[in-house]
A = this chain, B = another copy of it.
């Protein structure tokens, strides 16, 4: 009796043909004696359509928490449809299967709507018992239920989080995330054809890679997997049930025998750099600035402060997503009297390129190799930020591919 969680995203259940293919995969897994919970997303395009309808009904001008509960009611219907369809498709193959919605599974959430957090699962739903009895549980991802009995959703990509949370609650032996790529790569194969699939990657690395732009897994799901020690595997939903499809394991660092110094090169073009020229250089000014930005919902990433004139004035540089940058501009203009500065510059033609690897913890010289490789290609580094296992640089967006290729080669990641 091995409880196993499988998850299929939007492109994997895009239409009836794809759902039928997913049913084949699930049937083959069930035939091996695995007791399965299968988490599904909405059919691709459905969520966008539903979001469009909800925004249309609420009016573009009106947003905010007072609408999020009904927004959730509308949007959660997409996963409901897929869960019913896959259950039907499995029964057609003679399997015992049923759909489970958030409120039936009693996946309780807190912190409201739109981007709720999972609180836990009530134990009296009969969910685990049904799985143990050999019935495939087809779970509508992305949705939960609030204490007040309302529908909640987990925010974009929330089905990954549902999958890991269900795996943790079930103490599943593994959580297989089936997706449109066959694993986690050293970098984007569209840019570097020599990119290779990683056999294993640590939770920490995956976390950095996810937040740095690798779109394989939602950051929150990786956090959750790390906290609950859920072994996660990313593999292809397009392979046949009997095809070679090892995927990439996301696991603890100590399970990775051969550690690379750098395991991945990521990039993100969705960046903006904002410079405040001649900002008043007094204690508390920065705190006020970032409090303002945070309360406006702007997620600030890199920050650099440099003295400009040596007369109590400095230049402050920070980055955020380009999506947030207009909001940031507006809130700064509106509060100019509070955050004193001479002028503001916004650059949206920038990209962030990062190298990630747990090996950095014990190796020196990574920054040296990185900066050297970029310098060799005459790529100018604008801003730098580091963590224990990653180094990120902000560069001119035109150089993105060149930088990624140079770093992939410099850290010996090219396939031979």
Residues of chain A from 51 to 106 with CB closer than 8 A to chain B in the complex = 53-54, 56-59, 62, 66-67, 69-74, 76-78, 80-81, 83-89, 91-92, 98-99, 101, 103-104
Contact B98 A57 (CB under 8 A): no
Q: Given the complex of chains A and B, what is the CA–CA distance between A66 and B86 in angstroms?
A: 14
Among B53, B54, B56, B69, which residue has its beta carbon within 8 angstroms of that of A98? B69
Residues of A within 8 A of B (CB): 16, 19-20, 50, 53-54, 56-59, 62, 66-67, 69-74, 76-78, 80-81, 83-89, 91-92, 98-99, 101, 103-104, 149-151
Q: A70-B98, A98-B70 are in contact. Are A80 and B83 (CB under 8 A)?
A: no
Among B50, B86, B101, which residue has its beta carbon within 8 angstroms of that of A81? B50
A48 to chain B, nearest CB (A): 14
Contact B70 A99 (CB under 8 A): yes
Q: A73-B80, A149-B104 are in contact. Are A54 and B88 (CB under 8 A)?
A: yes
Contact B62 A84 (CB under 8 A): no
Residue of chain B at shortest CB distance from A73: B84
Q: Given the complex of chains A and B, what is the CA–CA distance between A67 and B84 in angstroms?
A: 10
Q: Report the 4 A-B pairs with minimum CB-CB distance, sorted nearest first.
A: A73-B84, A74-B84, A77-B77, A57-B88
Q: A77-B80, A104-B149 are in contact. Are A70 and B88 (CB under 8 A)?
A: yes
Residue of chain B at shortest CB distance from A150: B104
Q: Given the complex of chains A and B, what is the CA–CA distance between A80 and B53 in angstroms?
A: 13
- Most B-side CB within 10 Å, residue of A67, A88, A99, A150: A88
Q: How many copies does the complex hold?
A: 2
Known: A54-B85, A58-B91, A73-B101. 12 other contacts (CB 8 A): A20-B57, A50-B81, A57-B85, A70-B98, A71-B88, A72-B84, A73-B83, A74-B88, A101-B151, A103-B103, A104-B149, A104-B150
Q: Given the complex of chains A and B, what is the CA–CA distance between A91 and B59 in angstroms?
A: 10
- Most B-side CB within 10 Å, residue of A19, A80, A83, A86: A80
A294 to chain B, nearest CB (A): 27
Residue of chain B at shortest CB distance from A125: B149
Q: Given the complex of chains A and B, what is the CA–CA distance between A39 and B59 in angstroms?
A: 22
Q: A73-B87, A83-B73, A92-B62 are in contact. Are A16 and B57 (CB under 8 A)?
A: yes
Q: Given the complex of chains A and B, what is the CA–CA distance between A139 and B260 in angstroms?
A: 57
A84 cross-chain contacts in B, Cβ below 8 A: 54, 57, 70-74, 77
A104 cross-chain contacts in B, Cβ below 8 A: 149-150
A56 cross-chain contacts in B, Cβ below 8 A: 16
Contact A92 B16 (CB under 8 A): no
Residue of chain B at shortest CB distance from A140: B73
Q: Given the complex of chains A and B, what is the CA–CA distance between A213 and B86 in angstroms?
A: 37
A80 cross-chain contacts in B, Cβ below 8 A: 73-74, 76-77, 80
A325 to chain B, nearest CB (A): 28
A103 cross-chain contacts in B, Cβ below 8 A: 103
Q: Given the complex of chains A and B, what is the CA–CA distance between A280 and B65 in angstroms?
A: 73
Q: A62-B92, A92-B58 are in contact. Are A99 and B73 (CB under 8 A)?
A: yes
A315 to chain B, nearest CB (A): 43
Contact A58 B88 (CB under 8 A): yes
A32 to chain B, nearest CB (A): 23
Q: Given the complex of chains A and B, what is the CA–CA distance between A52 and B381 in angstroms?
A: 55
Contact A91 B67 (CB under 8 A): yes
A19 cross-chain contacts in B, Cβ below 8 A: 57
> Can you list 15 A-B pairs, Cβ within 8 angstroms, ordered by A?
A16-B57, A19-B57, A50-B81, A54-B84, A58-B89, A58-B91, A62-B91, A66-B91, A70-B87, A71-B88, A73-B80, A74-B88, A77-B81, A77-B84, A104-B150
Q: Given the complex of chains A and B, what is the CA–CA distance between A58 and B101 in angstroms?
A: 19
Among B50, B57, B98, B151, which residue has its beta carbon within 8 angstroms of that of A92? B57
Residue of chain B at shortest CB distance from A17: B56
A71 to chain B, nearest CB (A): 7
Residue of chain B at shortest CB distance from A151: B101
